[in-house]
Homo-oligomer: A and B are copies of this chain.
């Protein structure tokens, strides 16, 4: 897809994972010029950024920016420690998992809000969902409603009565529905990385929360995950 020349703009938070790639495809399908934003917040691997760059390019983002903000200086998450829990069952898992990064979505949305205002963008898209969501408190609908009110009160656009809408089109979809939506919009999930703990070649571990949710989603759709096939491991997964 080529970059759009429309003046309707959106900021899209792009992690390089399955969910945010689907969201970018959805925002593009709405005819929006998409300004993709990846925030490197101190997670221990670079694979997400590699994937985000590819997704932005393949799906025709108007631009892609990468911003560094090292939240790991505060600690508080196993994503920073290098000891990500594996093969936890829903019964043994803590109510809020140890991979939770304190206030991450609030920080991401705030930065996106600032950029959206500068761009005069009508919306911010993010890939949270409330069903297969790992139990993070900042993925709930009531959280997003509260942030919408902050966005309306905090910004020049809000004061002028032109809301910057917080859009989370995956909020009420399960992982299989997300994948089906993306496949229908031409997303190749071989571009994406979901794993919290990939190896040095960027290959998914298959055992963390994110890998387990992703695998279950592809199984339910009845599709193979192109990121788990041998050709992706040798960088041979060219676009059709």
Which one of A104-112, A204-212, A225-233 is at the interface?
A104-112
Known: A118-B76, A137-B154, A154-B106. A146 touches B149 (CB 8 A): yes
Integer count of this chain's copies in the complex: 2
Interface SS, A side: helix
Q: Please provide the chain A residues from 116 to 170 with a CB less than 8 Å away from any CB of chain B in the complex.
A: 117-118, 137-138, 140, 142-143, 146-147, 149-151, 153-156, 158-159
Residues of B within 8 A of A156 (CB): 96, 100, 102, 137
Interface residues of A (CB under 8 A from B): 65, 67-71, 73-76, 96, 100-107, 109-111, 113-115, 117-118, 137-138, 140, 142-143, 146-147, 149-151, 153-156, 158-159
Contact of A114 among B107, B117, B151, B155 (CB under 8 A): B107
Report the 8 A-B pairs with minimum CB-CB distance, sorted nearest first. A103-B114, A76-B118, A102-B117, A102-B114, A103-B113, A106-B110, A110-B110, A143-B153
